[in-house]
Structure formats: structure tokens, C-alpha cells
Amino acid sequence: MARPARNFWLPVICGATILTIGIGARQSFGIFQKPIAADLNAGRELWSFANALALLLMGAFSPLAGNLADRFGTARTVGAGGALYVTGMLMIAMASEGVMLTIGNALAGLGMSAAGFGPILGAIGRQTPGEWRSTALGVATAGGSFGQFAIVPFASTLQNSLGNWHSTMFVLAGVSMLMIPLSFGLREDRPAKAAALRPQSSTDALQEAFRTQGFWLLTIGFFVCGFHVTFIGLHLPSYISDHAVALSFFGRPISAAELGGWAIGFVGLFNIIGTLLWGWLGGRRLRKDMLALLYALRALAFVLFLALPLSWFSVLLFSAALGFLWLGTVPLTSGLVMYMFGPVHMSMLWGIVFFSHQLGSFLGGWGAGWLYDIRGNYDLVWWVSIGLGIFAALIHWFIREQPVARLTLAAARA
């Protein structure tokens, strides 16, 4: 007797929770920038490079992790990635010099390639009805935003209380262990229909995508997203601390260092709403147009932040505005990949697009730290971010949002 179909919200909830933990913990790394530099007697480039390397490896191995998830099951892939992620976090927590710090980051990055957006969104997209798909992808992506809101301020407050980044990192590693059992919620009932759904090999899928102009434009645009979010996530807390921007909340003083953590948390809070909104819009408007609008608004947010006098109010206002525009790119971009090429090889193709995102992350994370050590400020990086936002907005207008000929022909025959 056939088993009853599982409710598609189960993988959505489990996937969102895994992203809540994994992304939330990683987004808190910006608060460790100055403590680690002081403890290890190093410039900001060390922690910036270690994080950038992790993000680069996360992107480089995402296509492979996506292919493994497409072929052998998402639950196994994500569970193994979660275990590797926790191992890397523990190594970072125990590090007393740059080599172990960098290796731990590298392992955590490899783990997140398997326990990140690609495999999780692929599993959700395959198990969700078409009319709910864009919304479900938005809900799952919002999980990462909630983690940013919940975990980053928690880590910032904990670090401010303990005054020891090793102890704070151990706590984050402990929380990350929950990712492993949650991966079981991503199991898929696919064996009976695998043959019918997989007439196209991985090689054919890659060749088809590489011949499609829209795929390359999406890939280039997502590079910009990676640059933006990593520069902000890793360096905004230090930028706030450098300018000694603090506040008093009902008589309780909040230091500039703690405010930096709350700023990133604010981004995550408002991104919960933003990601759901952009996911909803992606089901009702052309996704490429929504992506163009999102990148243009990001550039505008950067300009206004630089133009306004720097204060705790402008910091939180900027964080809230950027939150609406933070990870809204993910349901729009992933939904567009699935719409154009179908769900079968979604995780692998998304992995390639995501690799471009992580290349941008590498440059936005390490490059900003390198330029800071040279110039003593982040001014140039802000203006590069503005230019990249305008560039990304322009190129998305040239995407033709339609399924590839293979899917169009199959629909006509059906």
C-alpha cells in the first residue's frame, strides 16, 4: 500500500530552521573582527581572509553538493554538511593562531555548501506544488534572516558579557549541532518517479544552462549580491565601532561594539518580512524585474546611508532598509533557475549560480579588510558597492524569463 504523501511544509520548516542556525551563526562573525585581531595581534585582513576563504569554498563545492543531493538525497547531504560545519566551528573556537583559525573556517564553509541554500531549496522546490513554490522558497530563505535576527544579537550580547570570543564561539558551535537531526525532515520520496523525471543527464543540463544567456546574467548578478551581504555582514559592526556610534536604551548603555551586532540583527529582522515579500512578488511579477528593482534599491540605500549624518538612528534605519533587500534575491533567483530549467537538476544549477555569489563574497569580505588595512577606512568599498548595485540592476533587464525550449516542447506535447 502506498504511503500517504507528506505535507510539503515539513521540509520547508526543517530547511528554514537549518538555515536559521547555519546562516545566523555565520552572520555573527562580524562581531569577532576586532576581538580576534586584538587577541592574535593581527590586522583585520586575517579574519577577513579566513571568512572569505570559507565563503569561496562554500561556493566552489556548492555545485558538487547540489549534484549529490539531486542524485542521492538531500537529507544525507545536509546531515553530513551539518556535521562538517560543527567540526569547523569547534576548530575556530579552539584556535590560538591564524592557521587553525583559517582551517576551521574552511571546514565550516565546506559544511555549509552541503547544508546551505542549494540542497535545501532544491528539496523544497521539488516537493512543493507550483502555485506555492515561490512562497515556500521565500519562507525557507526567511529562516536565514530569522537566524540573523535571533543569533547575531545573542552572540553580540554574549560576547559583550563574557569578553572572550573563544567561549562565545563554543556556544555557537553547540547550537549548530541541531542542524544534524533536523536534516531528516528533508527526506524525499523519489525512487518511484526518478526514471520519469530524469531524462536529462547532469552534463546535458550543464550544457543547456551554459547556452542560455539568462543563466549567465543571473550568475553575474548574484556575484553582486555576495559582495554586498558579506561586506556588510563582516565589516558593518567594525565600521560602527570605528566611529564610536553608541546609544542608551532606557538607561542601559549599549556600546558601539554591541550596537554593531544589533545592526546586523536588525537586517535579519526586517529581512524576514522582505524575503517573504519578494518571494510573494516573485509569484506574481516577472522575477527578473523584481531583481532589477531590488538591486537598484540597494544602491540607493548605500547612497543615503553615506549622505546622512552617522548616528545610532541612521545605523538602525539603514539596517532596516537593507533588511528588506537582503536575501530577497534568493527566492527570486532560485525560483527563476527552477522556472527556466525545471526542478530535476535545480540544486546543481543553483550551486553554480551560488558559486558566483561566493566569489563576490570573497572579494567583499577579504577585499574590504585588505583595503581597510591599507587605507584605514572603508570609503572606497562603499562606493564600489553602489556601482555594483547599479550594474546588477541594469543587467537583469536583459534576461528573457521563459522556460528553455526543452520544457516548452515537453509542455506542448503534454
Share of the chain above pLDDT 70, in %: 94
Residue 380: which of 389, 391, 372, 392 has the closest Cα? 372
- What per-residue confidence (pLDDT) applies to 181? 94
Confidence tier at 197 by pLDDT (50, 70, 90): very low
5 has a pLDDT exceeding 70? no
Residue 365: which of 109, 82, 184, 6 has the closest Cα? 109
- Classify residue 261 by its DSSP letter: H
299 has a pLDDT exceeding 80? yes
What's the angle, vertex CA 284, arms to CA 399 and CA 129, rounded to 5?
A: 100
CA of residue 205 relative to chain centroid, distance: 24
Task: Find all residues with CB under 8 Å of 196, minimum gap 6, and list them.
Answer: none
- What per-residue confidence (pLDDT) applies to 193? 44
195 has a pLDDT exceeding 70? no
Summarize the confidence of residues 173-192 as an average pLDDT.
84
Confidence tier at 248 by pLDDT (50, 70, 90): low
21 has a pLDDT exceeding 60? yes
205 has a pLDDT exceeding 50? yes
Structural domains for the chain: 9-183+202-413 (1.20.1250.20)
- What per-residue confidence (pLDDT) applies to 173? 94
Confidence tier at 260 by pLDDT (50, 70, 90): confident
Summarize the confidence of residues 1-8 as an average pLDDT.
53
Summarize the confidence of residues 374-394 as an average pLDDT.
96
Share of the chain above pLDDT 90, in %: 43
pLDDT tens-digit map of 103-133: 999 999 999 999 988 788 888 878 888 777 7
Residue 149: which of 312, 328, 23 has the closest Cα? 23
pLDDT tens-digit map of 268-285: 889 888 888 888 888 888
Q: Which three cell numbers stand for residue 168?
A: 562565545
Distance in angstroms (rounded) separating the CA atoms of residues 137 and 125: 7
Angle, nearest 10°, between helix axes 165-176 and 130-162?
150
> Checking phi first, is residue 246 left (phi over 0); if not, alpha (psi -120 to 50) or beta?
beta
pLDDT tens-digit map of 339-365: 999 877 877 888 899 889 989 988 998
- What per-residue confidence (pLDDT) applies to 250? 62
| pTM across the whole model | 0.77
Confidence tier at 86 by pLDDT (50, 70, 90): very high
